[in-house]
Amino acid sequence: MPDIYADGMETSEERPAPVRVISEAIGEYIGRLGPVWVEGEIAELTARPGTVMAFMRLKDPSVDMSISVSIPRALMKSVSSDPLPPNALIKVFGRISWYAPRGSISLMAKSIALVGQGELLARIEALRNLLAAEGLFADSRKRPLPFLPRKIGLICGRASAAEHDVVENARRRWPAVDFEIREVAVQGGNAVTEVSAALKELDSIPEVDVIIITRGGGSFEDLLPFSDEGLIRLVSKCSTPVVSAIGHEQDAPLLDLVADLRASTPTDAAKRVVPDVLEQASLIRGLQERAFRRVTSLIDHEIAKLASLLSRPAIADPRTIITSRADVIASLLARARAMSPQATLDRGYAVVQSESGSVIRSAAEIERGQRLRLRLAEGIATAVAEGEQS
C-alpha cells in the first residue's frame, strides 16, 4: 500500500482513489505512531451502566480541539473511586486507533492519571518565570487607563455576579458610562478559547478605551484558564489597556501580572476604571470657588490701586496742575516783559539813533546840528541837536 506521506498517492479527477484506499492508508499511518501520552481536559464523559468501556472527549484547554478517548471503566476506578469531574485535567497513555467504518480517530487508553495541583502550580511557576524573563510583566509595558473611557469592554461569565458588580458600581459612580459586554465561559475547557475571541473582538473596536476581564472567586482549577500561556501572550499584544479582576484578593492568576491594572475584585475594577461623578462635581465646585476668590482678589486689588491714584491731587482736580503752571508761566512772562526794550520805552525812555541807525549812547557822539532819530514807545520822531548841555 502506498505511503500517503512519504510516497504520495497519485490520484486525478479521472482516476480518483476509492474511500477504502484512503481510509486504509490513514489507518496504516496512524498505526505507525505507536503509544503516546496525551494531556487535556475532560469535556464529556459517558459511562453507561453494564458496559465495560467508557467514552470521553478530551479537550485542549487552550484551543478548540479535542479527541475521543475509549477507556475501560476499571481503569477509571483505579484512578479515583469517585467519578472523574468535568474539566478535570488528566494525562492518558494509549494508542491512537482509526475506526474505518466511521472514519474517526480515538485514543484507546491503557493508563490514566489526574494532573495534581502541585504539578499545575509548578507548571504555572515555570511559565511565570519564562514570561517574566521575556519582559511581559515589566512595569514599563503597562499603560495608564483613560480618565473617562468612551466605552468599557467587559468580558465576563453569562449573567454572572461579576458582571452585575462591575456594571452597577460603574454606573453608580458615572451614570453615563457605556459598556460593550461579551459573555463567555470563564471556566472549563471552552474558557480560554471564548475569552481570547472576545478579547480580540473588543480590542478591534476603536471606541473601547479599556477592557475588563472578570469573574468571581472559584477553585484553583476554575481559575486555571487565566494562567494559560496563549491568553497571557494575547493580552500582552493588545493595543487597549486591560484590567484583570479575577476572583478575590488572594487569587493571583498570571493574567494579573500581564494586565495593565490588577483589581482585587469586580467591584474594585469598576471603581478603578471610571471616576466618581460626585467627587468630580465637588472638585469642579472647589475649582470654581478658588477661581472666583482669585478673580475677586485681583479685582479688589486693582480697585484699591485705582482709588489710591484717584486720591492724588493731580487726579482728583487736574485743573490744579494747570493753574499752578499757568501762574508760573505768567510770572516768567511778566519778568521777561519787564526786561524787554519795549518795557523800557513804555516807561518814557527813548532810543536815540543816528540817521544811519546806529544807537547813540553818549552825548559826546552827537554834533551840533546833527539830525537824530528818536525811537519812542509808540512811533519814531526826528530831532536836531542844538548843542551839548551840562
- Verify that 129 and 96 share a domain, yes or no: no
Q: Which three cell numbers stand for residue 102?
A: 466511521
- Verify that 67 and 108 share a domain, yes or no: yes
- Verify that 369 and 236 share a domain, yes or no: no
Which among 264, 260, 262, 276 has a CA at the least distance from the CA of 177?
Answer: 276
In a domain, 234, yes or no: yes
- Verify that 156 and 104 share a domain, yes or no: no
User: pTM of whole model > 0.85?
Assistant: no
Number of domains in the chain: 3
Percent of the chain with pLDDT over 90: 38
Percent of the chain with pLDDT over 70: 95
Q: Which long-range contacts (CB under 8 A, 24 or more apart) does 306-313 make?
A: none
Packing angle, helices 161-173 and 266-273, rounded to 10: 30
Q: How far is CA 298 from CA 201, 288, 301, in A?
A: 54, 15, 5
Count of all residues that appear for the chain in the document: 390
Q: What's the burial of 306, exposed, middle or buried (CB within 10 Å: 0-12/13-18/19+)?
A: exposed
- Verify that 133 and 263 share a domain, yes or no: yes
Query: CATH number, domain at 84?
Result: 2.40.50.140
Using the 8-state DSSP alphabet, how is residue 101 labeled? T
Which among 221, 250, 249, 246 has a CA at the least distance from the CA of 235?
Answer: 246
Query: In the prediction, which pLDDT does 258 show?
Result: 96
- Verify that 128 and 267 share a domain, yes or no: yes
**Helix ranges, the chain (H):** 19-31, 73-79, 117-133, 161-173, 191-203, 229-236, 254-258, 266-273, 277-310, 313-316, 318-338, 341-346
- Verify that 106 and 196 share a domain, yes or no: no
In a domain, 207, yes or no: yes
Query: In the prediction, which pLDDT does 389 show?
Result: 60
In the block, residue with C-alpha cell 526786561: 339
- Verify that 243 and 355 share a domain, yes or no: no
| CA pair distance 118, 130, nearest whole angstrom | 18
| CA pair distance 229, 255, nearest whole angstrom | 9
In a domain, 283, yes or no: no
Q: What's the burial of 181, exposed, middle or buried (CB within 10 Å: 0-12/13-18/19+)?
A: middle
pLDDT tens digit sequence for 252-282: 899 999 999 999 999 999 999 999 888 888 8
Query: CATH number, domain at 224?
Result: 3.40.50.261
Q: Which residues lie below 8 Å from residue 315, measured CB to CB, with a gap of 6+?
A: 309
> What range defines the domain where residue 239 resides?
121-137+150-275
- Verify that 41 and 57 share a domain, yes or no: yes
pLDDT tens digit sequence for 144-162: 999 999 999 999 999 899 9
- Verify that 129 and 245 share a domain, yes or no: yes
Amino acid identity, residue 249?
E
Three-state DSSP class for residue 286: helix
- Verify that 179 and 252 share a domain, yes or no: yes
Q: Which of 216, 241, 275 is the last residue of a domain?
A: 275
In a domain, 109, yes or no: yes
pLDDT tens digit sequence for 240-260: 999 999 976 666 899 999 999
- 7 pLDDT exceeds 60? no
Dihedral sign of CA atoms 172, 174, 175, 180 in order: negative
In a domain, 80, yes or no: yes
| CA pair distance 105, 272, nearest whole angstrom | 50
In a domain, 375, yes or no: yes
